[in-house]
Structure 1
Amino acid sequence: MNWDTIKGNWKQFRGTVREQWGKLTDDDLEVIAGKRDKLCGKIQERYGIAKEEAERQIDQFHNAL
Structure 2
Amino acid sequence: MSRPLAEIIRKNWRQLAGLARVVWDELTLDELIKSEGDAQKLTTLIEQRYQMPRGDAEKQVLSFFERHRTS
Give the TM-score taking structure 1 as reference length.
Answer: 0.86
Point out the more displaced range, 27-36 or 42-51.
27-36
Mapped contact 2:47–2:53 kept (Cα < 8 A) = yes
Paired position in structure 2 for 1:62: 65
Q: Which amino acid aligns with 1:15?
A: G
Instruction: Between the two structures, name the one with larger relative contact order (CA 8 Å, sep ≥ 6).
Output: 2
Deviations 1:24-46 (A, max 9, x none): 11231132011110000000011
Mapped contact 2:26–2:49 kept (Cα < 8 A) = yes
Q: Per-residue deviation at 1:16? A: 0.8
- Alpha-carbon distance in structure 1 between the residues aligned to 2:64 and 2:14: 16
- What residue ranges of structure 1 are gaps of 5+ in the alignment? none
> Hey, which of these two has a bigger chunk of helix by percent?
1
- What residue ranges of structure 2 are gaps of 5+ in the alignment? none
- Once superposed, what is the RMSD of the aligned Cα atoms? 1.4
Number of matched residues? 65
Residues 1:30 and 1:61: Cα distance change in structure 2 (over 3 Å): closer
Paired position in structure 2 for 1:44: 47
